[in-house]
Amino acid sequence: MVDSLLKDLIAEYLQVLAVEKNMARLTISSYRHVLYDWNDFCEKRNVLYVSQLDCCDLRSYIEMLYDKDYAATTIKHHVAVIKSFAKFLRQESYLSKNIADCMPLPRTPQKLPDVLSVAQIERLFEQDFGRGPYGLRNRALCDLMYGYGLRVSEVVSLDMGHIYSSQSFLVVTGKGSKQRSVPFFGAARTSLEQYINSARPELLRNSLEPAVFLNSRGGRLSRQAVHRMVEGMGRQIGIENLHPHTLRHSCATHLLAGGADLRIIQEILGHADIATTQIYTHVSQEHLIEEYLSAHPRAQRKS
C-alpha cells in the first residue's frame, strides 16, 4: 500500500463529503477548518504521512485545545470531525486500524435553548417593522421562523417554486439538502403573501430571480442580514442579542405547551432524531415554572 500525505487525504475526504455524502456547504467548511488545523499541528510535529499517525498525536492535539481554553462544545466538535476522518481512513484501507478509538468524546453539560415567552412574542410582532417593502419582508421573515420553526438557512434558501398555496404547504430545504413539507397557515401565511404581493415586486430587479426574500439589490438575502434584522427587532423590545434560532426554539416550545405531539414537532422542525426534539420537553417544564412564578399572585408568597 502506497503511503499518502495526510493533507492529500484530507482533500480527498472533503471531496467525498461533498459529492457522495451530499453534505451541506457550511458543514464541509467547518470540517475543513478542523482538519486543516489538525494537519498544521501534525506538520509541526513532523507528522506528514498517514502511516505516521498514532493515538499520541490525537491526544496531544486535544490537550492543546484544552490548553488554549477552547469551549467544551468546540473540542467535542473537533473530536467528532477527526473521528469521522479516521473512520474514513480505516474504511479506505489507508490505516490498518481506527486510531481514533482512543479518543472519547468530551462530556458537555446540556444547555437548554433560549426561548421567548408568549408575551415577548406578542410584543415582537406588535412593534413597527418599518415602512415600505423592507418592513413587510422583515415581518414575513420573523413570522416564518417563529410560525414554522424555520432555520435562517431555510428561509433565505426558500424559492418561489417552493410555495404551494393551493395545497397549503411550503417545501423547505434543511440540513444535508434534505427537503420537507411544512404547513402553510395562519399569521405566517398572511405575512408572506402580503410581502410577495406588495413588497417583493418592488425589490425585484431580475424576473428570473427565484429567491423569495430579496435584498436591496434584488438578489437573495443573506443569513447575516437576517441575523442583524432579528437582533435589531429584539433590541426594540428590550431583548439583547436576540438570535433567529431563538424564534425556532420558541415555536417548538409553544407547540409542545399547546398540546402538539412530539413526533409532529419533529416533522415540522426537520429533526432526524426524536432525541433532538425531546429537549423541548425540558424547556417546556422550565418555561411553565417561570410563567407560573411571574404570573400567579401567590406564587412568591410563603403564607
> Which is catalytic among the residues 90, 162, 175, 220?
175
Residue 137's region, left for phi above 0, alpha for psi from -120 to 50, else beta, is: alpha
Phi and psi at 182, nearest 5°, equal -125, 150
Give the CA angle between residues 136, 222, 11 to the nearest 5°: 160
**In the annotation, is 248 catalytic?**
yes
State the DSSP H helix or E strand holding residue 15, giving kind and residue range, or none if neither: helix 6-19
**In the annotation, is 302 catalytic?**
no
> Which is catalytic among the residues 77, 83, 137, 271?
271
CA–CA gap between residue 85 and residue 104 (Å, rounded): 15
CA–CA gap between residue 188 and residue 193 (Å, rounded): 9
**In the annotation, is 87 catalytic?**
no
> Which is catalytic among the residues 13, 31, 146, 280?
280
Q: Show the beta-strand stretches assigned E in 65-178.
A: 163-164, 169-173
Residues with Cβ < 8 Å from 172, sequence gap 6 or more?
A: 148, 150, 154, 158, 162, 179, 180, 181, 182, 270
How far, rounded to the nearest angstrom, does the alpha carbon of residue 161 sit from its chain's CA centroid?
Answer: 23
Q: How many helices (H) and strands (E) does the chain have?
A: 14, 3
How far, rounded to the nearest angstrom, does the alpha carbon of residue 203 sit from its chain's CA centroid?
Answer: 27
**In the annotation, is 227 catalytic?**
no
And the C-alpha cell for 57? 498525536
**In the annotation, is 298 catalytic?**
no
* DSSP code at position 112: P
State the DSSP H helix or E strand holding residue 190, giving kind and residue range, or none if neither: helix 186-194
How far, rounded to the nearest angstrom, does the alpha carbon of residue 191 sit from its chain's CA centroid?
Answer: 23
> Which is catalytic among the residues 78, 151, 200, 254?
151
> Which is catalytic among the residues 78, 137, 248, 287?
248
How far, rounded to the nearest angstrom, does the alpha carbon of residue 45 sit from its chain's CA centroid?
Answer: 35
**In the annotation, is 271 catalytic?**
yes
Q: Catalytic site residues?
A: 151, 175, 245, 248, 271, 280
